[in-house]
Structure 1
Amino acid sequence: MHLWQQFLSSWNGISFFYNDYISQPEDIQLYTDAAPSIGFGGYYSGRWFASEWPPEFSHLAQQSDSPSSTLFEIYPVIIAAILWGHEWSKHIILIHSDNSAVVDIINKGRSQVQDLGSRLRHTSHASSTVFCYHLQLNPRLEDLSHASREAILNGLAPSTLSAYLTSWNCFKAYHSYYQIPFPLLDVWSICNFVTHAHSNLKIRASTVQTYLSGINFILKLATGEQCHSISHSHVTMLTKGLRKREPASSARRLPLTSDLLSQCICTLRSGYMSPSIDRTLECMFLLAFFGFLRCSELAPSTSAFNPAIHPSLSDISAHTPDSLIYTLKKSKTDQFGKSCPIYIFRLNSFISPFEPISEYVLSRYANKASPQEPLFLTENGKMATRFWFNKHFLKVLGASGISPEHYSLHSFRIGAATTAASAGISDETIRVMGRWSSEAYRLYIHNNFNDLLQAQALISSFKPLGVF
């Protein structure tokens, strides 16, 4: 044991025992390339990296009229060794390089380029990210890195992350279809991808822009840097031009205003399906409208109920004898789950939401329901999802004599804002009721023909002071 302790304490790591498997140069191949004006990259066994030059390289041109191309060409080889070198130990590797000086340096193990080694050591870890790091991590560090990656991804909504992954897969499929190396990130390649997605895949220009955002996001995860080609003026002008070539879109979503809501409530109270489903839908209609709710704030897209984030029976509570509170656990503008109270009042109206919702909650509790059960249930006793709610919403519209075309669940929120504006409610109050943090609520206020007529009549009859 003393012999081994003495040996290991001074061992240089070199072993004469190689793997039983004898590899050939063709088995492990590395491809690298560099462009001093753009950046560098490498490809190895289905994996790749690409990046702009570290800040240290920008000073080379200032220090020398003709900086060594060898330095630029060997840098991606060093980065590849940092990333994947642990897989090459005791193997033969074939490195493809178009620089003869780099070939000599690799084969001889030394360089005539002054200060090359110190420069490379200084910059070798410049491109490390949480998703692409150079070190072999021990289990404890790996756990920390995993937690960091999870936290970064949790910063995005699952639907957004899914859309970004779809865009990345589309970008990869584009490279495969045209049989070009992946990924090409220059302006020319990005423009070609945009045209391919729009012209060949029939993806709208607005959706292609979302795809570009997804590609940029994935690249930032991998390299820590954004792709500047995506924000290039040529890409911007291309998407704008493609958008102008698109046919005019169909009519925008229509608002479900208070008068249309009254027609729907009348249909439900007259008997649409079973009494329990009619009562459930009535409460959902009224809560969506008077709460200015987004679709996801009332009916989740998933069927897997999670009481920590989805609407539960306990989210409806009494506030005063004439008001209720619907506690919104999480929303688009409240990603940290601070929760927000939505007040529901007793109104002197046919569509007053207080009475139906109060009776619904009391009846659920009377039937031994748990406070942690879903707030709204289907005929099968499952959580009411967005698909289920939308299906019945469109059917109720049709049964009420309203064409369901151009209506969606977002029509409740649009209709509430439009009705509030028509009733003369202040902009600030509308912003508070809809929980808007910007001027975006103005986009939801749809003015009908009579509103425009009355507005122009008022303008034409207005006389400034001193004019008779």
Structure 2
Amino acid sequence: ISDPPISSSCPHSRAHANPHSTAHLAALTEETHRLISLSLADGSRVAYQRAVDAFQNFRLSHSLKSSWPATSQDVMTFVAHLSLSGRAASTISVHVAAISCLHKMHNWDDPTQHFLVKKMQEGCRRQGKSRDIRRPITWDILAKITSNLDSACASLYECILFRSAFLLAFFGLLRVGELTVTARYGNTSKVIAIGDIQIAHNNPGALMLRIRYSKNDQYGSAVMLRINGNGIENMCPVQAMGKYLVRRPAAKGPLFCHANGAPLTRYQFGAVLRKVLHHAGVPPLQYGTHSFRIGAATTAALNGLSPSKIQTMGRWRSDAFKLYIRK
């Protein structure tokens, strides 16, 4: 918000401004920002920021101009990308609404109001329920990922970091939001912390993991998971976590962090996954960060585990877990 114009009848009014008046204007400006901020619920604000980040990352990865305001052509290309990725029409609408909100907040021309953007959104709604094209990360694909991390990571520490994160996501049937923070504006308080994991005292071949918050547990009642090791090189979650914890910097906060102490983000988790899948000859477009949870549920079903056992392992409260089993 710009400063109010100085009265032409008093050229020195700014220099001799009443300090009480200046303080009042500052208070009005602060209240304006506060009210605008309150216009969006916390959940909507996080969702909008995540959508804008996704749009910006898409433009950067496709060598498009990343300056603002965005063009309608960029928005159309992004909508096409979301549709090919299997996103539901409602999800695409949230992404478009976030881009629109950003432009309106800055008083820029809104590219989402373009006739063709509107028509593309209508097409998304008319095509009905989008199919979930995310494929499961199976045991064989997990083996390819963990043995090819040097192709996607810049250092030995990063290889150890992502190997332990990927294996824990698979064997713990974890949601990516439980492991990583959202880009830039993530809330680290609800992510698995360094104090939430320990090697089981009665069995060094297992680890105990506390999940304090999750999608189905917003109030922090917490659950304890026991994850057993398998002794297989590059595929054992307990061995991988042991190697990681030895090298992890002495920093409080999220369990997974880089050598400089910065927490692992959802974007980094997905970017390394796509890069290593591409190097291993697996089409990365068919996989996402949720593919570990899908793959673990599918693998459990193929190994004969009962539906109730799978539901308990993944902490599902409804029959939604059946959608994760991709036989």
TM-score between the two structures when normalised by the length of structure 1 = 0.43
Q: CA RMSD in A?
A: 3.5
SS of alignment partner, residue 285 of structure 2: coil
- Taking the aligned partners of 2:222 and 2:317, their CA distance within structure 1 comes to 15
Q: 2:145 aligns with which of 247, 253, 264?
A: 264
Which residue does the alignment assign to 1:403? 283
Aligned to 2:133: 252
Per the alignment, residue 347 of structure 1 pairs with: 230
Q: Structure 1 residues 405, 438: CA separation in 2 closer, same or farther (over 3 Å shift)?
A: same
1:316 corresponds to: 197
Determine if contact 2:151/2:279 at 8 Å carries over to the other structure: no
What is the aligned partner in structure 1 of residue 255 from structure 2?
375
Aligned equivalent of 1:441: 321
Report the CA distance between 1:349 and its aligned residue.
Answer: 3.1
1:392-435 superposed Cα distances (whole Å, 9 cap, x missing partner): 11101111121101211000000111111111111111011100
Partner of 1:296: 177
Deviations 1:54-94 (A, max 9, x none): xxxxxxxxxxxxxxxxxxxxxxxxxxxxxxxxxxxxxxxxx
User: Do 2:181 and 2:187's aligned partners in 1 also have CA atoms closer than 8 Å?
Assistant: no
Identify the residue that residue 330 of structure 1 maps to in structure 2. 213
Q: Deviations over 1:246-266 (max 9, x none)?
A: 289576111111110011111
1:282 aligns with 2:166: no
Which sections of structure 1, spanning at least 5 residues, go unmatched?
1-149, 165-200, 215-240, 448-468
Query: Normalized against structure 2, the TM-score is what?
Result: 0.60
Partner of 1:393: 273
**Seq. identity, %:** 35
2:152–2:272 Cα contact (<8 Å) kept: no
Q: Distance in 1 between matches of 2:231 and 2:91?
A: 48
User: 2:247: which partner in 1?
Assistant: 363
Corresponding residue for residue 432 of structure 1: 312
Q: Distance in 1 between matches of 2:263 and 2:145?
A: 22
The alignment partner of 1:392 has SS state of helix
Give how far 1:344 is off. Answer: 1.8
Name stretches of at least 5 consecutive residues in structure 2 with no aligned partner: 1-37, 49-78, 98-121
Superposition map of 1:5-404 within 5 A? 158-160=42-44, 206-207=89-90, 245-246=126-127, 249=130, 252-268=133-149, 272-303=153-184, 308-319=189-200, 320-350=203-233, 351-364=235-248, 369-370=250-251, 372-378=252-258, 380-404=260-284
Query: What is the SS of the residue equivalent to 1:441?
Result: helix
TM-fit CA distance, 1:380: 4.6
Residue in 2 aligned with 1:185?
A: none
Aligned residues: 226
Deviating 4+ runs (over 4 angstroms): 160-164, 201-206, 208-211, 241-244, 247-251, 269-272, 304-307
Task: Give a deviation string over 1:296-353, Cα, whole Å, max 9, x none.
Answer: 0111214356553222211211223221112112100001111122222121434111
Amino acid at match of 1:281: F
Q: Larger relative contact order (C-alpha < 8 A, sep ≥ 6)?
A: 2
> CA shift at 1:279, angstroms?
0.3
Q: For 2:46 and 2:153, locate their aligned partners in 1 and report how far apart those are by CA, in whole Å.
A: 37
What SS does the aligned partner of 1:405 have?
helix
Asked whether the 8 Å contact 2:145–2:276 carries over to 1, the reply is yes
Secondary structure at the aligned position of 2:148 is classed as helix
SS in 1 for 2:225: strand
Structure 1 Cα separation of the partners of residues 129 and 312 of structure 2 = 34
CA displacement at 1:276 relative to structure 2: 0.2
* Amino acid paired to 2:220: G
Shift of 1:374: 2.7
CA contact (8 A) 1:303 1:383 kept: no
Residue identity matched to 1:355 = Q
Select the structure of larger CA radius of gyration: 1
Distance in 2 (alpha carbons) for counterparts of 1:281 and 1:407: 16
